[in-house]
Amino acid sequence: MLSPTLVLVLSFGYLLLLFAVAGWADRRAAAGRSVIGNAWVYALSIAVYCTAWTYFGSVGRAASGGVWFLPIYLGPTLAMLVAWVVLRKMVRTARAQHVTSIADFIASRYGKSPALAGLVSLITVVGIVPYIALQLKAVASAYQVLTVPLATAVPAPGPWWSDGTFYVALALAGFTMVFGTRHLDATERHEGMVAAIAFESLVKLVAFLAVGAAVTWWLFDGPADLFARALADPALAPLLRLEQGQRFPFAQWFALTLLAMLSVLLLPRQFQVMVVENVDERHIRRAAWAFPAYLLLINLFVLPIALAGLMHFQGRPVQADTFVLSLPLDLGWQGLALLAFVGGLSAATGMVIVEAIAVSTMVCNDLVMPLLLRWARVARRAELTGLLLAVRRGAILVVLLLGYAYYHLAGEAYALVGIGLISFAAVAQFAPALLLGLYWKGATRLGAMAGLSAGFAMWVYTLMLPSIGKSGWWETDFVAEGPWGLALLKPEQLLGLTLLDPLTHSLFWSLLLNVGLFVGLSLSRAPGAAEASQALLFVDAGRGAAQGQPVFWRGQAQVADLQALLARFLGPARANRLLAEHAASRGLAADLPLPADAQTVQFAEQQLAGAIGSASARVVVSKVVQEESLGLDDVLRILDEASQLRRYSQELEAQRQRLEQATAQLRAANERLESLDRLKDDFMSSVTHELRTPLTSIRALAELMVDDADMPAVQRQEFLRIVVAETERLSRLVNQVLDMAKIESGHAEWHDSELDVAAVLRQAVHSFQETLRERGTELRLSLPVAGQRPLIRADEDRLVQVLLNLLSNAAKFAPAGKGRIDVRLQVAPGALTVEVQDNGPGVPAAQRELIFEKFRQGGGDAHRPQGTGLGLPISRRIVEHFGGQLFLRADSGQGACFAFTLPFSDNPTPAPPEATAGAKGDFP
């Protein structure tokens, strides 16, 4: 037991710390260095889901039901699996529509209906007040556990003015007012508050893990020891099993999972931190897994603490709900007990603060303001900012006092766990209208109203009333017997449905009726213009650019009226600044009057929606402008125009891309043409150069003979012989140029047939034999054994041309008198190779590729050989035409070795029989 003063000082000290954290975050935000622009902070703030109910109640539940505390955390994990799809859509839509609460979201979706907004707010208040009471109760009992000796009777709370819990509620109201309603923001974001909540999430996680670890490793010898001892106890062992001695109620397991799955999106505080306070939708990526991971961590030690408590307090009347505190306290770990208390305080205060902000926003915007604005005296007031803030603050105070009243009157009667689930079931009623409305354009206001009302009524009848009845305020006869004794109307066994537990039963009937009416009535009548236009904005949220969003408004307005309206709710300075920003965002000059068109009206309405909710904003805007009511046809037409605009801009973009592609292609083609042009110029100049050399010598000799009529006949004969030789060279050159041009242009004629390369080789070598003998050069021909010479398909004349070219090159470079040329034919899989090797000087490495270019000859200028410089390029083209390659072997040793490959024709026929006679043999 600890001194009450110590606990009180610690509690208020902790609240002051929260103030400091929130104030620090607000100052950072004002300085432009936001702390909540961080995905981790966002994920931690979502952990406001874990309230005192988790902190204390999970252990209580685990102590009686084993793993039954888990569905409440598995459900949110499942929901977060699709957060990137569903939650992101909610965030995008809420941002585009300046939505400030879940009531606003639903009302806005169904044509900004004030009635729907009011209904959702009402359901929220009724459903959430008990939940707030539960947090106050948790703080109060935690305080008692610390300050009253264990297992003694807890004194009943005194009158409210002497009850510490009352002052806790007031302190929380104060905190919430300071950080929740300091100013009216069009986005309704609260940096300081979010930072404080994230901090609290960290505190409660650390505190709970500390208690869990201490119990597991100090009190016991690790988890294995703890579980072994629990399993040895026949009373505890079943807690670790699925079927605890009876058939496992899977329907209830599923219902709890579903309930928690919906609640994590629909509870007002969750909507507040996840949707309204989201600053960057990319944060969802991290939060989607980090928040479930947080849930897993904080639940890791629930079973160990519950089992440890049951074993430790065996026989003593200590409530399992308090094990987190009473275990460390009873073991004398006072510091740990205080830490655990601060953790519980974090869990409770975090929930109360965010919930109070969210609920007060709804109460103010959707319940109080619509009534006040109807009141002429208020509607005429020039300045409403102060009034709005006062209403907000009043709503916060009222919500907390309601929570306190509920706790004071009924709190003692019911365990923590029950109250939480009742609230979950209330907000689950929003699921059809909100989630289906996000994806189904046909959903209507009528369907949403009817579904919500019926679901809520069913919830009241089957869950709320029986729970109040059980708390002793009420005759319980109607629960047990049914109203007026009608058994079919028994609230927990409606129409005789006895198979389900009360919660599953209520959830089933309320959601069945809710969805049934929602879908049925939506289908019965087409949505009106306002509903249809909002449906389009919600369902298609995030598709296409913001500029492409259609504006569903038509009428006449004065900018001055809109400005005055904005000034009344947001203050004159902010109104002017907002309109200037709007003008700038549309690219309009600041000094020109703003056009009073649909876009401006929509902008003003959205800014107001951020302050007073979309439904109220719609009402006040419609009072200062002359609107033409839009029919469904108009909505469709406007939508058509907008989508046409979007299509035009998409087409424009596509055109631009096509144009860029075409330009790139043209540029490439042009570059290729230019390089070809350069090649052609080079070729022409080479050809003329080659033609000029023999022409010059012919002309010189002819002139000599003309000038000198007395030239001796022998010399004249010699000159004429040279002239003839040069002429031959000229015609050879011209022929080769023509040949090259024909091959390159693809106009050459090819007479392909099946050839035996060995025979062609023999023939070519034979016809060249004479020339070689004159130069004293020896030639050796190596052919593979017969049968290994598959046929190839080629033009025989062309092949001979290639061979003669290679042979004449070899002969040219082989040293006179002791030259040697080797011609080899080799067969490899798929192709055969012909090699022609000489024992000349070889080709320098630098010229290996150059010699295959036109008019480049090997050997250097010093002893430029006879030839046109076209032989090798033509040969290479020919070989390439046959599908092979002509190249110079780099590793040929002495001399030059030219080789070319020829692929076999597709269906080789056996070599002709006579070729077998010419087995590998040497030619002389």
Q: How far is the CB of 326 from another protein (least distance, A)?
A: 23
> Is position 722 an interface residue for another protein (rule: CB under 8 A)?
no
DSSP assignments along 216-242, one per residue: IIIISSSHHHHHHHHHHSTTTGGGGSS
From residue 270 to residue 309, the character string flagging contacts with another protein as x (rule: CB under 8 A) and all else as - is ---------------xx-xxx-xx--x---x--x------
Q: Which of 1, 81, 209, 401 binds another protein (CB under 8 A)?
A: 81
> Is position 310 an interface residue for another protein (rule: CB under 8 A)?
no
Q: How far is the CB of 303 from another protein (least distance, A)?
A: 6
Of residues 227-266, which lie at the interface with another protein (CB under 8 A)?
Answer: 227-228, 231, 237, 240-243, 248, 250, 253-254, 257
Q: How far is the CB of 508 from another protein (least distance, A)?
A: 16
Q: How far is the CB of 462 from another protein (least distance, A)?
A: 23
- The closest of 30, 39, 80, 86 to 279, measured between CA atoms, is 39
Q: Which of 650, 670, 731, 769 binds another protein (CB under 8 A)?
A: 650
Q: How far is the CB of 439 from another protein (least distance, A)?
A: 12
Distance between CA atoms of residues 609 and 108, nearest Å = 10
Distance between CA atoms of residues 367 and 728, nearest Å = 111
Pick the closer one to another protein by CB: 652 or 738.
652
Q: Which of 225, 581, 674, 728 binds another protein (CB under 8 A)?
A: 225
Q: How far is the CB of 546 from another protein (least distance, A)?
A: 12
Report the relative pairing of strands 778-782 and 820-828 from DSSP bridges: parallel
> Is position 311 an interface residue for another protein (rule: CB under 8 A)?
no
Report the relative pairing of strands 820-828 and 831-838 from DSSP bridges: antiparallel
- How many residues sit in the footprint of another protein (CB under 8 A)? 44
Distance between CA atoms of residues 282 and 465, nearest Å = 43
Q: Is 323 exposed, middle or buried (0-12, 13-18, 19+ CB in 10 A)?
A: buried
> Is position 224 an interface residue for another protein (rule: CB under 8 A)?
yes
Only segment of 67-75, 358-366, 509-517, 576-584 that touches another protein (CB under 8 A): 67-75
3 state DSSP class of 451: helix
- The residue whose two tokens read 């916060």 is 396
> Is position 660 an interface residue for another protein (rule: CB under 8 A)?
no
Of residues 123-182, which lie at the interface with another protein (CB under 8 A)?
Answer: none
Q: Which of 17, 67, 435, 551 binds another protein (CB under 8 A)?
A: 67
> Is position 82 an interface residue for another protein (rule: CB under 8 A)?
yes
Pick the closer one to another protein by CB: 227 or 271.
227
- The residue whose two tokens read 């090997």 is 858
> Is position 216 an interface residue for another protein (rule: CB under 8 A)?
no
Pick the closer one to another protein by CB: 229 or 742.
229
Pick the closer one to another protein by CB: 82 or 154.
82
> Is position 653 an interface residue for another protein (rule: CB under 8 A)?
yes
Q: How far is the CB of 78 from another protein (least distance, A)?
A: 5
CB neighbours of residue 298 within 10 Å: 26
Of residues 864-903, which lie at the interface with another protein (CB under 8 A)?
Answer: none
Q: How far is the CB of 85 from another protein (least distance, A)?
A: 5
For residue 422 the two structure tokens come to: 């009742």
Q: Which of 80, 173, 397, 422 binds another protein (CB under 8 A)?
A: 80
Q: How far is the CB of 425 from another protein (least distance, A)?
A: 19
Pick the closer one to another protein by CB: 543 or 818.
543
Long-range contacts of 491-495 (CB under 8 A, 24+ apart): 491/461, 491/462, 491/463, 491/465, 491/466, 492/462, 492/466, 494/462
Pick the closer one to another protein by CB: 85 or 850.
85
Phi-psi region of 92 (alpha: psi -120 to 50; beta: other; left: phi over 0): alpha
> Is position 8 an interface residue for another protein (rule: CB under 8 A)?
no
Long-range contacts of 226-230 (CB under 8 A, 24+ apart): 226/304, 226/307, 226/308, 227/304, 227/307, 229/311, 230/307, 230/310, 230/311
Element spanning 253, H or E: helix 250-266
Only segment of 139-147, 193-201, 216-224, 518-526 that touches another protein (CB under 8 A): 216-224
Q: Which of 19, 84, 167, 474 binds another protein (CB under 8 A)?
A: 84
Distances (CA, A) of 839 to 812, 820, 896: 11, 6, 7
Q: Which of 85, 664, 673, 741 binds another protein (CB under 8 A)?
A: 85
Distance between CA atoms of residues 272 and 358, nearest Å = 6
> Is position 65 an interface residue for another protein (rule: CB under 8 A)?
no
Buried residues in 6-34 as b, exposed as e (16+ CB within 10 A): ebeebbeebbeebbebbeebbebbeeeeb
Distance between CA atoms of residues 709 and 570, nearest Å = 119
Distance between CA atoms of residues 249 and 803, nearest Å = 93
Distances (CA, A) of 691 to 18, 697, 737, 740, 803: 99, 11, 11, 16, 25
Pick the closer one to another protein by CB: 256 or 851.
256
Q: How far is the CB of 656 from another protein (least distance, A)?
A: 11
For residue 322 the two structure tokens come to: 């308090």
Of residues 733-792, which lie at the interface with another protein (CB under 8 A)?
Answer: none
Q: How far is the CB of 392 from another protein (least distance, A)?
A: 36
Pick the closer one to another protein by CB: 293 or 488.
293
Q: How far is the CB of 853 from another protein (least distance, A)?
A: 47
Report the relative pairing of strands 897-903 and 831-838 from DSSP bridges: antiparallel
> Is position 431 an interface residue for another protein (rule: CB under 8 A)?
no
Q: Considering only the C-alpha atoms of the chain, give the largest distance between any 2 of them, rounded to a whole number of Å.
A: 155
> Is position 70 an interface residue for another protein (rule: CB under 8 A)?
yes
Q: How far is the CB of 660 from another protein (least distance, A)?
A: 15
For residues 826 and 757, the answer to whether their CB atoms sit within 8 Å is no
Q: How far is the CB of 658 from another protein (least distance, A)?
A: 13
Distance between CA atoms of residues 280 and 284, nearest Å = 8
- The residue whose two tokens read 């929130």 is 22
Q: How far is the CB of 582 from another protein (least distance, A)?
A: 23
Only segment of 142-150, 221-229, 687-695, 744-752 that touches another protein (CB under 8 A): 221-229
The contacts of residue 450 (CB under 8 Å, 6+ apart) are 517, 518, 521
Of residues 516-575, which lie at the interface with another protein (CB under 8 A)?
Answer: 543-545
How many residues would you count in the chain? 924
DSSP code at position 853:
S
Query: What are phi and psi for residue 831, nearest 5 degrees?
Result: -155, 160
Only segment of 65-73, 184-192, 707-715, 794-802 that touches another protein (CB under 8 A): 65-73
Positions that interact with another protein (CB under 8 A): 66-67, 70, 74, 77-78, 80-82, 84-85, 222-225, 227-228, 231, 237, 240-243, 248, 250, 253-254, 257, 285-286, 288-290, 292-293, 296, 300, 303, 543-545, 649-650, 653
